[in-house]
Amino acid sequence: MNRNLTRRRFVRAAAAAAAGPLVLPARVLGRGGGVAPSERLLLGCVGMGGQGQVNMRNLMSQPEVQLVALCDVEQGLGGKGLSAALAAARAHAEKIGRPLSEHDVAVYRDFRELLARPDVDIVSIATPDHWHGVIAAAAARAGKDIYYEKPLTNSIPEGRAVCEAVARHGRVL
């Protein structure tokens, strides 16, 4: 028995423990229109041209989706690429009432770096068609669920490889 524990200290500690749930913000518990952290889906987007930004905005509009990473080989030529995509993500986040700080979204030029992140749950792929299958199969192997649009692949064998990777790793495509 702890001889330093007085009745007063015990009552103070018990009151603090009982009041803990009273000081937590409701959003942490998924109340008040918020989504509990355990229910959030962390999104990484690969390919940030026109359709990539449309997909990003549509996915970000879902309350349970949180954008954490962008990837494109273009750095920002002619209003395209990562710089424009990051600006578009911030603008859309403001519009939907979930602003992004400058450290909320990481940017990559190599999709493999994005896929290596253990926190990314889902990947949106909006690259030129000949990259779809390669990135989708790699995403499945990395344990990510995948969203991308037709054409899914350029050949039947490539399509089979994607389907097999998705099935083998239990992912959603």
* pLDDT per residue as tens digits for the range 30-60: 555 566 677 789 999 999 888 988 999 999 9
The pTM is what?
0.75
- Per-domain residue ranges of the chain: 1-35, 40-168
pLDDT at 10 over 90: no
Distance, in Å, from the CA atom of 61 to the CA atom of 85, rounded to the nearest integer, reads: 15
Distances 43 to 13, 33, 40, 94, 168 between C-alpha atoms, Å: 40, 20, 9, 17, 22
In the numeric block, the tokens 């994005």 are attached to: 114
Pick the CATH number of 40-168 from 3.30.450.20, 3.40.50.720, 3.30.420.40, 3.30.450.40: 3.40.50.720
* pLDDT per residue as tens digits for the range 146-168: 999 988 899 999 999 999 999 99
